[in-house]
Structure 1
Amino acid sequence: MSTDFQDARAALGARLRELRDTCPGGRLTGVGLAERLGWAQSKVSRLENGRQTATADDLSQWAAATRHPEATAELHARLHGLESHIRSWRRQLAGGHAAVQAAHNDAQSQSSLLHAWESAWVVGILQTPDYARAILSGFAELHQSRRDIEDAVRARMKRQELLYDARRRYRILLGESALRARICPPATLGAQLDRLTGVVGLPNVELGIVPHAAQLKLPAAGGFWMYDDRHVVVETWHAELWIDDAVGIRTYQKVWDTLRESAVFGNEAHAVITRVRHSLDNLGQG
């Protein structure tokens, strides 16, 4: 199935081929271009056929090697268009985890109504420092990225100041599975659950829990954030997807609204969290 991202990458590849074919002084073959660049010929082929995403440096070198330096800005703009919709972790984490956290802080600070759904872990805006440290350390290990964990934790904790800004509303849904996930030591998870009980009732935070026993109209999969009605961020193992088309945003809003029908709030949410907390205590006693 074709996607907007794949179509855009294919169009970028076609433009790269056009630059090679119109090289001043005569058409340049793929083999010849690879030799000029010191690349494998297979890389030239993958880029031209839209099977690999170019880096900014790749595009600068391509424009220079095909004698089209004037095309550099255009190629970079095309790449920016790609990356505004799919932001690979490899590229984002090249600057460290703290930079990624700062970008999300900025995005949330510019929004007044935020919706979230997550079934795998407690969302960052509600995390304790120790819980955040465990999550970030796991992802740093997965991606073999720069381990600026303490700076990233501080940046994530800084975001929580937004919870107390009356100009901003958070509507957060968590699956009960997120409360039970053993992705950190039991003591850390217990403290995280205690933190959630304190969130229930905050004036500008609506926290809903979807219990395991809840009747669902849709599968409870795929966590995401909605920033006003401007864009949706979906986190996958290899990248973040930033969705800003109207149809996509409406779809995620409908998913969130549907999941909310299965959630409990207030005292009932507090009771679910407390039940999970007690089960953790009982496990420790056993």
Structure 2
Amino acid sequence: MPPIRTSGVSSLHEARLALGKRLRELRRTAGLSGRALAEALNWPPSKVSKLENGRQSPTDRDIRAWAKATGGDHEAEPLLAALHTLEVQNIEWQRQLRGGLRAHQNELAALDRATRLFRAFECTYVPGLLQTAEYARARFAQSVGVLKVRGDVDEAVQARLHRQEILYRRDKRFHFVLAEPALRYRLCAPEVMLGQLDRLISLSALPNVKFGIIGFRAAYAVAPAHGFWLLDEERVMVETYSAELNLAGPQEIELYRSVFDSMAAAASYGRQAREIIKRVIDDISAETLPDEQ
């Protein structure tokens, strides 16, 4: 069977449908109805329908049983490879974080070491590699509350700060683009946000870091639908509420590279970017600090 090909932002859904189509082809080639296959596998008939229509992901055991029942044992390994590719693309946070928040940071550190060019666009929060300890602690605490995962927040903060040492590696290059709302959303205490904004000003001066801000008055050629990371030309990482998406198709990478370039073109850099940050600092300070007598 040919490999599953995915493209565009709907690739995960398309991959599930493509895997289901492969399973349907095996069943039909074997001359079995959905009900007959379900009876042979001792499954409810609805399970066959859900798998074939991409509404449910099969397990490894499901794939092997399906291949054996349809006389397609030789197709088991290609099907399993397609399933595992799909699983890597869409890693649910509950599974990703079951070893703890720190363990996930260590996994990201390994990915950092293998990457030379980092491009990140964020419209909601400050990227992890730029976070202060206090801001990171607030972000991790929110993850624990929403996802109900192991709360090793202090350890995760230390692991994230250790990852940030990569910013000072001259063999690495970084291009960050933040939309102004990411500087203003109240995701932590005001005093924590003030410290975070001050750190952004400092990090923007690093020689291997290009740092841009898209101000409220800037015109977008592409709507800032969500944040993402583009690692070299190999992978796009997108975080949703439920999962981490890892996209690696050439068309997906080209799409996100084009979107990033559009965001970067709308951003202000250098002194203009720092002026936007300072303006946000002044606004937050005016709202939270007592008036001088």
Aligning the two structures, in what range does the TM-score lie when normalised by the shorter sequence? 0.7 to 0.9
8 A Cα contact 2:67 2:76, kept in partner: yes
2:115 aligns with 111
Give the one of 232, 237, 260 matched to 1:233: 237
The CA deviation at 1:218 is 2.2
1:215 aligns with 219
8 A Cα contact 1:20 1:28, kept in partner: no
The CA deviation at 1:214 is 1.6
1:1-286 equivalences under 5 Å are 3-14=10-21, 18=26, 29-31=37-39, 33-34=41-42, 42-56=46-60, 59=63, 73-285=77-289
1:186, 1:2 → 2: CA distance?
Answer: 35
8 A Cα contact 1:33 1:66, kept in partner: no
Count of paired positions? 279
1:7, 1:16 → 2: CA distance?
Answer: 14
2:49, 2:222 → 1: CA distance?
Answer: 41
8 A Cα contact 1:231 1:243, kept in partner: yes
Question: Which residue type is aligned with residue 12 of structure 2?
Answer: F
8 A Cα contact 1:34 1:44, kept in partner: no
TM-score for both structures, normalised by structure 1: 0.84
Question: Which residue type is aligned with residue 259 of structure 2?
Answer: V
Moved over 6 A (4+): 19-22, 60-72
1:250, 1:15 → 2: CA distance?
Answer: 27
Question: Which residue type is aligned with residue 30 of structure 1?
Answer: A
Show CA shifts across 1:34-84 (max 9, x none): 46xxxx654454234321123446557777999998876554322211123
1:149, 1:20 → 2: CA distance?
Answer: 51
Show CA shifts across 1:237-264 (max 9, x none): 2222222222222222222222222211
8 A Cα contact 2:175 2:210, kept in partner: yes
Q: Which runs of 5+ in 2 are unaligned?
A: 1-7
8 A Cα contact 1:121 1:179, kept in partner: yes
The CA deviation at 1:140 is 2.3
1:57, 1:155 → 2: CA distance?
Answer: 36
The CA deviation at 1:21 is 9.2
2:75, 2:145 → 1: CA distance?
Answer: 38
Tell me which moved more, 127-136 or 117-126: 127-136
Q: What is the aligned-residue RMSD (CA, Å)?
A: 3.0
1:16, 1:97 → 2: CA distance?
Answer: 36
Show CA shifts across 1:229-284 (max 9, x none): 12211222222222222222222222222222221112221121111112111111
Q: Which runs of 5+ in 1 are unaligned?
A: none
The CA deviation at 1:188 is 1.3
